[in-house]
Structure 1
Amino acid sequence: MAFLQGLDSHVVIVGCGMSGLGAALRLVQHGFHNVRVVEASDRAGGRIKTALWGGKFLEIGANWIHGPCQENPVFRLACNYGLLDEKSTTEENQSIDVDGHPPFVPNWFSSSGRKVSVDLTKPAAMVYMSLLQESQGFFAQDHEHLPARSVGEFIKSKALEALGEEQVDKGTKELRLAVVNTLLKAECCVSGTHTMDDVCLKSFGMYKTLPGLDCTFPGGYEGLIRCMIQDLPKDIVSYNKPVKCIHWNCTDQKAKNSGKTFPVLVECDDGETIPADHVILTVSLGVLKRKQKTLLSPEMPPQKVESIQNLGFGTNNKIFLEFEEPFWEPDCEIIFFLWEDETELSDVVSDLERFWMKKLFGFTVMSPAERYGHMLCGWIAGCESEYMEALSQMELESAVTQLIRRFTGNPTITPKRVLRSQWYHDPYTYGSYTYVAKGCCGQDIENLAEPLPLKGSQSKPLQVLFGGEATSQPFFSTVHGALLAGWREAERIISHYAPLTFPETGGSKL
């Protein structure tokens, strides 16, 4: 009987990204019929965003399914909807374990305009990858005295030590230091941080990778969002509906509907107020950081606010370049840029206005060529990435053209077209995804995920629940983490009314 009453509960989901959609679908599938999703923007998907550019589907946001295997719920959904190519769904592809770093075939170019042999870069790259793997191991160990506070500090000190022992000439040694610098910049993009000096060494290994060689959606990631939307009742999602404040522990008479009093009232920017029994909040950690004092009333408890502050949320942007002809080798999958004047290890630039482009570590080659033509995707993270967003299109095109010409040594090469993402200036994200900042731990993710009111309160439980990738341990920063978090919060509500009925739990970076 309690569960039947639960089906009449009013649930409002804030945000129509993967986490919000996952929660809505789970609730609807279990018979809840008073579910409403409010989305601030004019589209569904959140940080999943596909653009049709010159007849080609480009991922402005989430790019891959990270770890496409049966343990990954996004992969399972994509397979069920028939959205992946045959190669991506093979057992062989699912079984490959690359530990989160696909073995791309590289081309290396230096700032003096010459191509650098892999034989010269490989020793430094191997040292770097070994240290990166070692830095992930501290999470599983009981270390009272860590060798450093951050991943960046650890890798830089150990790399200097290892490379300093090599019996090579000065030019080769400086080149190999530049290799480590470039790979640190690349890891800033993977982690979504300004610098690896900001990433906690102790917590770095908390992130769990899944087996499977990362794959993409031939028809765009948003195809998955469209399929999920089609499985929801019509008109369940309200677009262009930013939320101003969520009033919980509500005793205001306005929180009434059909004679019933509700514990939560969702106040929207347009003046509409929506009463609810439960609200699932799936906004980004960037939004929570910006609006932690105003988004909820009463304000969030101190431990939740502290955890929001402790966790890191950074910016990782893409710059797409299309060319008439490739300047890279046919088997090349990733292009790295080596700045020969970077003889000291640093993954940040000293002067944003003059040198922001130095943070652009290189490009991945868009493949297959039959689908994309001759196209590259550049990656840039941190404050340099945020600065790049504010440039005019002309300034951006000029900067990346000069960069390509300098490193290739070809003074005439010119991209046909340039397109970028701008996640930091998006008012509904304020960045890309979560990372474990210095001083944070798994408890911060648990604190963020804990519903309000907190345990021990005498108030009605599960008034405000928290989803989104930032609440997903150990899959923060991923699409599958966001989906799992949405399912988790829906199941809290389901099991609240029928605690013995639904034991199921489920288990890419963007």
Structure 2
Amino acid sequence: MEAGGGRRVLVVGAGLAALGAAQRLQGPGSVRLLEAGSRAGGRIWSHPFASGLAELGAHWIHGPSEGNPVFRLASCYGLLGPGAAEEENQRVEAGGHPLLPCVTYGSSGKVLSPELVSSTRTLFSELLGSAQAFLHAKELPAAGVGQYLRAELARLAPTWDEDEDSKRLRLAILSTCLKLECCISGTHSMDLVALGSFGEYTSLPGLDCTFPGGYSSLPDRMLAALPEGTILLNKPVKTIQWQGSFCEKGDVERIFPVRVECEDGDSFLADHVIITIPLGFLKEHHHNFFQPPLPTWKAEAIRRMGFGTNNKIFLEFEQPFWEPEQQLLEVVWEDESPLAEPSIDLEASWFKKLIGFVVLQPPEQLGHVLCGFIAGKEAEYMETLSDAEVLRTMTSVLRTLTGNPSLPAPRSILRSQWHSAPYTRGSYSYVAVGSSGDDIDALAQPLPEDASDPRPLQLLFAGEATHRTFYSTTHGALLSGWREADRLNRLPRAAEQQ
């Protein structure tokens, strides 16, 4: 892999940030990706299920329009369906929420009034907008988004001109809206999401779309374009030693500042290492992972930032019980209210955190499949249960919602378990209470921090958690990988050969 004694770059990970960096690096030298798992793609993972594929990780391209590099790359590779490229679809302002035809089931076994659901959603959307407007505000009414939203709802609820049953239902629907926002933010509770930074996240225009051949078709194509042997799979890294002077046997002339040691005992020397490891892993392991340890300011940014779990439960049915036009089956527990304390008995009520089910499209290709979304501690608890237990609970939930006690059980189940995944430890990042967008920038800052160091950019950091306005997204991950590659591409050649 060594090319003419040029710079040697190692990339830790093989998700979209890593592949993007490898794709973009220029000049003489070598690039090698060290991936802990058995596949490339990271938190993109299309898995066979029913008669097609299920997306265990990234699901949609959020904001598929010209400003989205994932959309542009996927279009360039010819990986998207015909509707995705339509200009009309690229102009839709979805605000990060997939716009799907919806039916809302209440826990009493009845379909809730579409008018009540729609007006409540509009109210919640307006409140979210007002929460985002606190970006750069000098004074905040609350630390977390959840506290702010609840205070606003407590103020507004007495002014609603409707009967008590409608009020109760409206509050229950608002509870579901909050749970959906937990899924979107990848957090256990919106109380944990910083109000002052909630407006940092930028939504791109475009009607969210999926990959007909699976999201994994994108990393697969990116990997195929790299030279053979670029990626080493099943190569978990144990430690990254930096600020050192390392040389290979028989070549004392060439000194490398970084040594990467893998769990299997193999080690690699490099001029630069791009770290694309998920924030969840860094939170748990950065103390022992880097030698010397990361500077305090970076370690503190890692600690303060939020990283939560959003899981999916796929259920395959012999026949659909939903109508062909319905693409989202929403779940409302009618006894819940955002103004009441949530249950902390996970064993008894974990399934109530489920926001509902997306109907996978098209059924003729994928089968009759529902995809449930669940976030937070309840999602983590779900991972500890067996497939049979989850299937039994989902069958019971669906029978309750439809009011049909003899609704046939799903024929098969598949679910994600991102919290248990040892090299991920969750789904994606958010700006937590006590953190800010500045922590995202600190996480992205390369090391050593001294710009006059003769061996610059030993450690570079990429991944969704390092993009200030697109954190939690695939396009944020891709842009961060390109950013770090460009940083190396700008480095004067003399500086690399010190």
- TM-score (norm: length of structure 1): 0.93
Q: Select 2:372's aligned residue among 362, 368, 378.
A: 378
Aligned to 2:61, which of 62, 65, 82? 65
* Aligned equivalent of 1:488: 483
Does residue 1:202 correspond to 2:196, yes or no?
yes
1:290 and 1:347, CA in 2 relative to 1: closer, same or farther beyond 3 A?
Answer: farther
Aligned position for 1:23: 21
State the shift of 1:456 in Å. 4.4
**Residues 66 and 215, structure 1, Cα contact 8 Å, conserved in 2:** yes
| Separation (CA, whole Å) in 1 of partners of 2:304 and 2:385 | 30
For 1:433, the equivalent position in structure 2 comes to: 428
In structure 1, what residue type is equivalent to 2:271? D
**2: distance between equivalents of 1:41 and 1:474?**
28
Indicate conservation of the 8 Å contact 1:318/1:378, yes or no. yes
- Structure 2 counterpart of 1:63, which letter? H
**One-letter code aligned to 2:201:** Y
- Could you tell me which runs of 5 or more consecutive residues in structure 2 were left unpaired when the two chains were aligned: none
AA in 1 matched with 2:53? F
2:92 is aligned, of 96, 100, 119, to: 96
The whole-number CA distance in structure 1 between the counterparts of 2:259 and 2:163 is: 69
Contact map agreement 1:178 1:345 (CA 8 A) in 2: no
Note the 1:93-172 alignment, pairs <5 A.
93-139=89-135, 142-172=136-166
Residue in structure 2 matched with residue 388 of structure 1 by the alignment: 382
DSSP-derived class of the 1:294 partner:
helix
Alignment check: 8 A CA contact 1:68 1:213 kept: yes
For 1:425 and 1:284, how far apart are their aligned partners in 2?
13
Q: What's 2:289 paired with?
A: 295
Query: Hey, what does 2:79 align to over in structure 1?
Result: 83
Return the letter of the residue paired with 1:21: L
1:154-176 CA-partner distances (Å, limit 9, x unpaired): 11111222222112222111111
The answer (yes or no) to whether the contact 2:273–2:459 under 8 Å persists in 1 is yes
- Pairing partner for 2:447 from 447, 452, 470: 452
2: CA distance, partners of 1:257 / 1:264: 16
The answer to whether the Cα contact below 8 Å between 2:355 and 2:373 also exists between their aligned partners in 1 is yes
- Contact kept, 8 Å, 2:51 with 2:365, in 1: the verdict is no
Aligned to 1:49: 45
Any idea what SS the aligned residue of 1:138 has?
coil
Q: Which moved more, 1:395-404 or 1:450-459?
A: 450-459
Shift of residue 370 of structure 1?
2.7
Q: Are the aligned partners of 1:256 and 1:262 in contact in 2 as well (CA < 8 Å)? A: no
Measured in 1, the distance between the counterparts of 2:207 and 2:341 equals 27
Q: Distance in 1 between matches of 2:28 and 2:448?
A: 22
- The 8 Å contact of residues 246 and 256 in structure 2, kept in 1 or not, is answered as no
- Structure 2: distance between partners of 1:244 and 1:346: 45
Return the letter of the residue paired with 2:221: C
CA distance in 2 between counterparts of 1:377 and 1:90 reads 26
User: Equivalents in 2 of 1:56, 1:379: separation in Å?
Assistant: 19
CA-CA distance at 1:324 after TM superposition: 2.6
Out of 411, 414, 418, the position equivalent to 1:419 is 414
- Describe the superposition over 1:399-420 as per-residue Cα deviations: whole angstroms up to 9, x where unpaired: 1110111111111112121111
Distance in 1 (CA, whole Å) between partners of 2:366 and 2:129 is 33
Per-residue CA distance 1:137-189 (angstroms, 9 max, x = gap): 111xx422212111111111112222221122221111110010011001100
Letter in 2 for 1:222: S
| SS of residue matched to 1:496 | coil
Corresponding residue SS for 1:275 = strand
Structure 1, residues 430-457: CA drift from partner, whole Å, max 9, x if none?
0000011011111101110111101346
Instruction: Give yes or no for contact 1:334–1:365 (8 Å, CA) kept in 2.
Output: yes
The 10-residue stretch of structure 1 (108-117 or 469-478) with the greater mean CA deviation from structure 2: 108-117
Distance 2:184 2:43 in 1: 15
The change in CA–CA distance for 1:115 and 1:265 in structure 2 (over 3 A counts) is: same
Q: Equivalents in 2 of 1:343, 1:225: separation in Å?
A: 42
The alignment partner of 1:293 has SS state of helix
2:463 maps to what in 1?
Answer: 468
Query: Does the 8 Å CA contact 2:327/2:358 hold for their aligned counterparts?
Result: yes
Q: After TM superposition, list the pairs within 5 Å mapping 1:208-247 onto structure 2.
A: 208-247=202-241
Say if 1:382 and 1:256 are closer, same or farther in 2 by CA, change over 3 A.
farther
Q: 1:494 to 1:6 in 2, by over 3 A?
A: farther
Letter in 2 for 1:424: H
Equivalent in the alignment of 2:9: 11
Query: Percent same amino acid among aligned pairs?
Result: 48
Contact 2:99 2:207 in 1 (8 A): no
Letter in 2 for 1:321: L
User: Per the alignment, in what secondary structure is the counterpart of residue 287 of structure 2?
Assistant: coil
SS in 1 for 2:129: helix
Structure 1 portions without partners, runs of 5+? 500-510
Residues in 2 aligned to 1:147 and 1:54: alpha-carbon distance in whole angstroms: 48
| Corresponding residue to 1:260 among 221, 236, 254 | 254
Residue type of the partner of 1:449? A
Match of 2:311 in 1: 317
CA distance in 1: counterparts of 2:316 and 2:305, whole angstroms: 36
Cα distance change, pair 434–324 in 1 and its aligned pair in 2 (3 A)? same
Query: Aligned partners of 1:391 and 1:218: how far apart in 2?
Result: 31
- Asked if the contact 1:128–1:159 (Cα under 8 Å) also holds between the matched residues in 2, the reply is no
Q: Contact conserved, 1:348 with 1:359, CA < 8 A, in 2?
A: no
1:344 Cα deviation (Å)?
4.7
Name the aligned partner's letter for residue 461 of structure 1: P
Could you state the TM-score of these two structures normalised by the residue count of structure 2? 0.95
SS in 1 for 2:151: helix
Aligned equivalent of 1:508: none
Evaluate the alpha carbon distance shift between residue 257 and residue 42 of structure 1 in structure 2; reply closer, same or farther with a 3 A threshold: farther
